Every structure is written in structure tokens, then in C-alpha cells.
Amino acid sequence: MANQSLVIVSGSKSAPGAPMLLKVAQDQGIDATLTYIDDPLTVSRINAADTVLYRMSPQMRPKYIALLDVLVEEKRSQLADYLAAFSKINMYDALVSTDIPTPKSYTISRDQQVLEYPIVIKIPNGYQGLGVELIRNENDLATFKAEFSDEDEFLVQEYIEESKGSDKRLFIVGDTCVAAMKRTSQTDDFRANLHLGGAMASYEPTAQEVAYALAATKVFNLDFAGIDIIDSNRGPLVLEINPSPGFGIQAVSTHNIAEEVVRQVVKA
């Protein structure tokens, strides 16, 4: 492992995940470097590394897309898979071609209306519950579109009322679910995201939920991912694939999740 070179790419100097991964990698004897997307040496570091681990928030996606033109082919292919998973529209386009159950979804342009209400609407690159709203009528839809005036396309999903403001996050590394939590809204908000005040608790996923989460992770050839699942009257549904999940789930897991991620990425 000592001969491995790993570059961890981050879009933010304030995000704790990348420095955590760097320390874990160095503790394992890996030749690891942390670089930031705006660093002029980032491209050469990525191209020279044996392995690259990306940390990215959706708002930094355009800067990562720009890297595709300057990376060597192997690194470009890996980053392309990673970026594809970040777009909620791309994600659902890929999921519908599989047997993985998801909420019924379709896309609309800015000028289009929806087929029926209530629905959940999402901007393509929202995160932490932002850019996701429950829409009950045309006025709600108009307000949402005005708020996100820079967006030309939106993902529309059926509203799964029976999920009752809760979901499950399964943290997948390789072929294993290393941690799982249940998130529950503490208000009447239908979103359960921790950044919006949701509470988390350790959760033991069912075999079916794990199977769906593993399959969803493989759709984009990801080494690791956070898979969000909600309950419905027709069984568990995969809600989202997060290719750069946070490590807050560590609080309810006995696994060293960052260590598991690094080991998977460098194929230890």
C-alpha cells in the first residue's frame, strides 16, 4: 500500500471530509495528497496519481466538468461517471433503465406545467435538501421556478405521502453497506435532511434495501455512495444517489467509514 499514490480532490477548504480522508490515507501508509479544484497543480496531480478520490458539492460541478478536457483518458472516464451521478436528471434517466424501483419521475422545461398535483420538484444539482420542494398547485410551481430562475429544466416526482418525512441513508462502500441511518423530520417538512433539522438514528436495513442500494451504486460505477431510500405502499424506493456523501453517519456507526472508503478506492 505504501507505493500507492492517492490524490483527494476537494472543491472547498472548509469541508471536513477531504482532510479526514487525507489523514486516514496517510495513517495507512499511502502517499496521499489533498488538492483543491482551483489549485493550478490539480490537473497534473490527478493525471500523475495512481488513484483519485473526488469530494464535491453540486455547486462546484461546473469546475469539475471543465477538468474533463484536460485529464488523461482513464481519469476522464472516472470523473465522467462521478459527474453523471450528481445530476438528479441523469440519475433518474439511468435508474429507469434498471429494475431498481424509484418514485415515478419525469422532466419539464421552464415553460412546461406538470401533469397533476401534488408533486415533488427538484433542480438538477440541488443538495442537502435545497432546491427540493413539495408543490401543491400552479402558484407553488410558479414561485419555485421564480426562485430558481437560472434553471432551465426540473425533475418532477410523485409525492410519496406515506413516507411521512422520513428516509434511510445507506452508506455503500464496494459491495458492502458499512453504515445506515434513518432520518426523520422534526417539523412538518416532508424533507428529512440533517442540514434542515432532521434527526438521525442507527438503522438496520433490510436485505432488499441493501440490494437496491448496492445496485444503485453500480449504475455509475461508484466505489462508494450514499443511497437514500424511502418507504412507500409498493415497497422501498431509491430516492437519490449521492456520489460524495458526508460522514455525519459516522455518529451512528461502529465502522471507521473514512478508512473503509480509502481502502476501497486504493483497492487495498
**135-161 average pLDDT score:** 94
Query: Is residue 190 exposed (0-12), middle (13-18) or buried (19+ Cβ within 10 Å)?
Result: buried
- Check residue 85 and give its pLDDT: 87
Give whole-number Cα distances, 160 to 20, 169, 229, in Å: 36, 17, 12
Q: How confident is the model at residue 128 (pLDDT cuts 50, 70, 90)?
A: low
Average pLDDT, the chain: 90
The CB density around residue 226, as the number of other CB atoms within 10 Å, is: 22
pTM, whole model, 2 decimals?
0.90
Do the beta carbons of residue 117 and residue 135 sit within 8 Å? yes
258 backbone dihedrals φ, ψ, rounded to 5°? -60, -40
Q: What is the pLDDT of residues 176-200, one digit of tens each?
A: 999 999 988 765 656 555 554 567 7
Q: How confident is the model at residue 51 (pLDDT cuts 50, 70, 90)?
A: very high
Asked whether the predicted pLDDT for residue 1 surpasses 50, the reply is no
The one-letter amino acid at 59? Q
Report the length, in residues, of the chain: 268
63-77, 86-100, 123-137: the lowest-pLDDT one = 123-137
Do the beta carbons of residue 145 and residue 118 sit within 8 Å? no
- Grid cell locating 246: 458526508
